Chains A and B, each alone.
Chain A
C-alpha cells in the first residue's frame, strides 16, 4: 500500500468519527499542552530567580556557621560561632573585602498606638543597605556610626509603613515598639516588590547591636555579609576569608572548619538547579497526563479494530498483507496523537502566557520543550497504536468476515 493511500485512509477514518476522534486526542492535547506550559512556567521562574539574585550583585559573599551546604544539623556551639569581632578581623586580614556587615534577624511584633503588625527585623551595619541595594523613599538611612551603635532607630519597608501609618511622611519621626523596645523611624525604604512570593518590603532594619542586644539578647551574629567592589575580586576575597576562618577555627576548636562561605554566584547556581529540578518535576507530572492520553488512544483504537473487523476481513480477503493492515491502524493512531500534539503545542503557548501573566512571570516556551512534547506524542502514538494494530493484523480473514 502506498504511503499516500495509507495517510488518506487514516484521515478518512478519523473524519468519519469526528467527535470520537476529538475526544480521543483530548488526552494528548492536555498532556502536550501541560508539558509545554509547565516547562515554560518553570523556565520563566528559573529566569526570574536568576534575575532577582543577579540584581543583588554578583560580588556578594555570605559567611554562615555550619559545615557545608549539605549539612542540616547545627549544634548550639556551632550556630553561635560568628561574633562581631570577626568583622574586625575580616577588615584587617581580608583587603579584598570592601563592604561588610554582621547580620541578625528575627520576627517581631511592631506596634504603634493603634496598629500592630508582625514583621521581620534585621540588624546590620549601614553597609547592609549598600550590599542589598536598599534606598529610601522618605526620610534617610542610618549612617555608618549609627549602624555600629545601639541607638533605638530603624528604617521600615513600605508594607510595614502602610500597615502602621496613614502615609509615609507620618511615619518619619514616629516611635514604633518592636517587642516592647521603642524605636524611632528615620526612613521608609523604596519599594522592592516580591521575590519568590516573599514580600521584600515587609521588613524593619535597625542597627546591628540594637537588634542583637536589645531585642534578641545574644552575643553572636547569625551571618556576616560581605561584598567586594567588583566581581573579579570575589575569588580572591573568598580565599582570604577561607584562610582567616580556617586558621581561627583551627585555633579555637582544633577541628574542622565549621562555617561556610557562599558567593552570590553559587547561590544563583543552587537556586537555578533547584528550579530546574522543579521544572523537571512539573514536566514529569504533566507527562503523566500524556501517558493517560496515550491509553485513551489505545482504548479507542481497540474499539475501532473491533468495530471494523469486517472491513479488516475484507481487506485481508482481497489480498492486503498483514503488514499493510498493521501500518494502516498504526498510522491512524500516530496521526491522532500528532493532531493532539499540534493542538497541544498551541494550548501550551496559551497556558504559558496566561499562567505566566497571572503569576507575574515571563514564561518562556523553549524549542526543547516543543520538540520533547511533539516527539513524546509521536512515541505515544506508536506505542499505544501498535497493540491494537497488531490485533487487527493478526485477524483471520474468515472469522473477521463473519464478525457481526
Chain B
C-alpha cells in the first residue's frame, strides 16, 4: 500500500512582495506517494524549479502548508529544516556539484558528516556500499576531475543515496550528459525507484519524461496537467536498442 509522503495544500510562493512581485507558484495542491517517479516539466519561468526547491525544503513557501509524512515542515526553523534535508532527502543537480579535487568516496560521505549518529567507519562502509550500488566500485578513490560526466553524476547519485533517503530530488540530472549517458542515469533511477525510492525530477527533455511514472506540467505557477504515464518506457530496454 503506497504511503502518502508529500502533501501540499495551497502552496503559494511570491518573490519580491510589493509592486514588482513575482508570483512563482499559485495555490499548488499536490499529493505524492512513496513508490512514485514524478517528472516536473514546464517552460522556463513556469515555477518547476521553485516547486522542486520548496519540495526539497531548500526554500519556504509564502503561504500554504507542506506536510512531509504528516509533519508540517512549511515554517520550521533553519536548523530543523537542515536536519529534515539531511535525514530524508537526496539531491542530484544538473552540474553534479561535487567537491573539486576530492575523491569520490569523500563526496559521497558528505551528507553523513552532518549526521553525528554515524561513526567514521560506518560512514566509510556506507559510502562504499552506495558507490558499488551505482556501479563505481572501481572508482572509489578517484578524484572527481578524473571521472567522466556520467561517472560524476553517478557519484552525485551515490551521495543522494547514502543517507537512505525518503525522496531523491533531481534537477535536470541528464541536462549536462549525452543521450546515451542520460539513459544510463535513467536506468539507474528506474532501478532505485523499483526498490522503493521516491524520485521527483525536473526536466525539459520529453524523452526522459517517458521513463517516469507521472508527469506534472506547470505553466505560470499553476499545475495545468497531472497525468499518470500509462506506458512507462524502460531505460534498460532503450539502451539495448541503441546498443549500449
Q: Which A residues contact B (CB, under 8 angstroms)?
A: 1-2, 4-5, 12, 16, 310-311, 313-324, 397-398, 401
- Report how many A-B pairs have Cβ atoms within 8 Å: 62
Using A322-B78, A401-B97 as known contacts, say yes or no to A315 and B120 having CB atoms under 8 A apart: no
Is there contact, CB below 8 Å, between A316 and B97? no
The verdict on A322 contacting B113 (CB below 8 Å), with A12-B102, A314-B97, A397-B58 known, is: no
B179 touches A (CB below 8 Å) = no
Which residues 68-118 of B have a CB within 8 angstroms of A?
A: 78-79, 82-87, 89, 91, 93, 97, 99-102, 110-111, 113-116
CB-CB under 8 A from A401, the residues of chain B are 58, 93, 97
CB distance B82 to A398 under 8 Å?
Answer: no
Report the bound CA distance from A324 to B113 in whole Å. Answer: 10
CB of A319 within 8 A of CB of B58, answer no
Question: What residues of chain B lie closer than 8 Å to A314, measured between beta carbons?
Answer: 97, 99, 110
* Chain A residue contacts of B84, Cβ below 8 A: 319
B159 in the interface, Cβ–Cβ < 8 Å? yes
- A310 contacts B86, CB within 8 Å? no
* Cα distance A323–B82 in the bound complex, in angstroms: 11
Is B58's CB under 8 angstroms from A321's CB? no
Interface residue? B53 (CB, 8 A): yes
Residue B59 lies at the interface, judged by CB distance under 8 Å to chain A: yes
Contacts of B102 in A (CB 8 A): 12
Residues B59 and A5 in contact, CB atoms below 8 Å apart: no
Contact B116 A316 (CB under 8 A): no
Question: Contacts A12-B102, A319-B83, A322-B78: A398 and B59 contacting too (C-beta < 8 A)?
Answer: yes
Chain A residues positioned under 8 Å from B101 (CB to CB): 16
B110-A2 in contact (CB<8A): no
The complex places the Cα of A314 from the Cα of B116 at a distance, in Å, of: 18
- B113 touching A5, Cβ below 8 Å: yes
In the complex, what distance in Å separates the CA atom of A324 from the CA atom of B111?
Answer: 12
Report the Cα distance A114→B146, complex, angstroms.
86
Beyond the given pairs A313-B97, A318-B86, A401-B58, 9 more chain A to chain B contacts, judged by CB atoms under 8 angstroms and listed by A's residue number, are A2-B113, A2-B120, A317-B58, A318-B114, A319-B83, A319-B111, A320-B114, A323-B79, A398-B53
Q: Which residues of B are found within 8 Å of A323, using beta-carbon distances?
A: 79
Give the residue of B93, B97, B116 whose beta carbon is less than 8 angstroms from that of A2: B116
Question: Which of B78, B113, B159 lies in contact with A1, CB distance below 8 A?
Answer: B113
Q: How far is the CB of A328 from chain B (nearest CB, A)?
A: 10
Residues of A within 8 A of B110 (CB): 314-315, 318
Q: Are B114 and A321 in contact (CB under 8 A)?
A: yes
CA distance A323 to B111 in the complex (A): 15
8 tightest Cβ-Cβ pairs between the two chains A and B: A319-B86, A318-B111, A319-B85, A321-B82, A314-B97, A320-B114, A319-B114, A321-B79
Looking at the assembled complex, report how far the CB atom of B121 sits from the nearest CB atom of chain A, in whole angstroms.
13
Residue of B nearest to A311 (CB): B99
Cβ contacts under 8 Å, B85 to chain A:
317-319
Residues of B within 8 A of A313 (CB): 97
Q: Per a CB cutoff under 8 Å, which of A315, A317, A319, A398 touches B87? A: A319
- 1/0 per position for B153-188, CB-CB distance to A under 8 A? 000000100000000000000000000000000000
